[in-house]
């Protein structure tokens, strides 16, 4: 890896070398956090304008949003596509002690059935309004990201560092619906074990909501879990093998 390929590190809170995988945490936050603060540039004043929005991800990990054209943030985006999205992990104690990720990029409309299905798996209640005439899906193309993983754990990354390669995994993507249905038809203890392997509470009612070459996404209400693989899977057989390895 040459210097251009290495993630930039914040000069204010350097990562502890060999003790903390910041990029893995950034990717996990991107996949697992279902709600984020979306900041756009107000078209009338130019000031940052922050709102709260539901978030899912596309197969490569790019954030996927469902926005109303009547909302201020959508009007802002149509005038200037630049935006940032803050994804923060909750928990007990000091909120600032928990990790969070800020993703900076440009938003663009996306219209395809597979993206719609991925969003609604993560946010099933959105099906009530997803097809309203004023609603549409948007992809945030990451250009840069800043991770604050807690005290003395911060780093900057290129947007491309967050994304997973999917060009060679089309057969896996096409099989996603059937494979998720298969997982969700299993006893809930199976999904609880997957959530536990991802470091989450195994007592919650987890469901499988998305898969990709790098892992599996689970959800329980507004809680999210990301089970990441140690290797890339490009087809259903490789994916099942990687899932078995991750649970072991």
Question: What rounded mean pLDDT belongs to the chain?
Answer: 91
Give the containing element (helix H, strand E) for 116: helix 113-122
Query: Which pLDDT band holds residue 69 (cuts at 50, 70, 90)?
Result: very high
Percent of the chain surpassing pLDDT 70: 92
Q: Does residue 10 carry a pLDDT above 70?
A: no
Q: Does residue 233 carry a pLDDT above 90?
A: yes
9: tokens are 């590190």
Is the separation of the CB atoms in 38 and 83 below 8 Å? Answer: yes
Q: Are strands 215-220 and 135-148 parallel, antiparallel or unpaired?
A: unpaired
Looking at the chain, which residues constitute the CATH 3.20.180.10 domain(s)?
165-248
At 151 the pLDDT is 78
At 4 the pLDDT is 42
Q: Mapped to the 3 state alphabet, what secondary structure does 24-84 carry?
A: HHHHHHHHHCCEEEEEEECCCCCCEEEEEEEEEECCCCCEEEEEECCCHHHHHHHHCCEEE
At 97 the pLDDT is 85
Query: Which pLDDT band holds residue 204 (cuts at 50, 70, 90)?
Result: confident
pLDDT tens per residue across span 27-56 = 999 999 999 999 999 999 999 999 999 999
Looking at the chain, which residues constitute the CATH 2.30.110.10 domain(s)?
1-163
Q: Does residue 14 carry a pLDDT above 50?
A: no
Report the top-level CATH class of 165-248: alpha beta
- Domain covering 1-163 assigned CATH 2.30.110.10 in the classification: yes
Q: Does residue 2 carry a pLDDT above 90?
A: no
């Amino acid at each position: 890896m040459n210097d251009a390929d290495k993630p930039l590190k914040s000069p204010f809170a350097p990562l502890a070398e060999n003790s903390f995988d910041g990029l893995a945490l950034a990717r996990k936050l991107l996949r697992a956090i279902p709600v984020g603060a979306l900041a756009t540039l107000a078209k009338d004043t130019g000031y940052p304008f922050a709102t709260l929005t539901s978030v899912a991800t596309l197969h490569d990990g790019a954030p996927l949003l469902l926005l109303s054209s009547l909302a201020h943030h959508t009007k802002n985006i149509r005038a200037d596509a630049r935006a940032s999205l803050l994804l923060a992990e909750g928990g007990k104690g000091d909120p600032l002690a928990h990790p969070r990720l800020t993703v900076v990029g440009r938003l663009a409309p996306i219209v395809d059935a597979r993206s719609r299905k991925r969003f609604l798996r993560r946010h099933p209640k959105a099906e009530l309004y997803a097809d309203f005439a004023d609603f549409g899906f948007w992809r945030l193309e990451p250009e840069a990201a800043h991770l604050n993983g807690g005290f003395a754990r911060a780093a900057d990354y290129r947007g491309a560092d967050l994304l997973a390669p999917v060009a060679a995994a089309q057969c896996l993507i096409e099989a996603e619906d059937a494979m998720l249905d298969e997982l969700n038809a299993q006893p809930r203890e199976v999904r609880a074990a997957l959530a536990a392997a991802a470091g989450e509470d195994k007592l919650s009612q987890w469901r499988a909501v998305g898969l990709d070459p790098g892992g599996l996404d689970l959800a329980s209400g507004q809680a999210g879990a990301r089970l990441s693989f140690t290797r890339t899977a490009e087809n259903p057989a490789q994916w099942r093998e990687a899932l078995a390895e991750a649970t072991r």
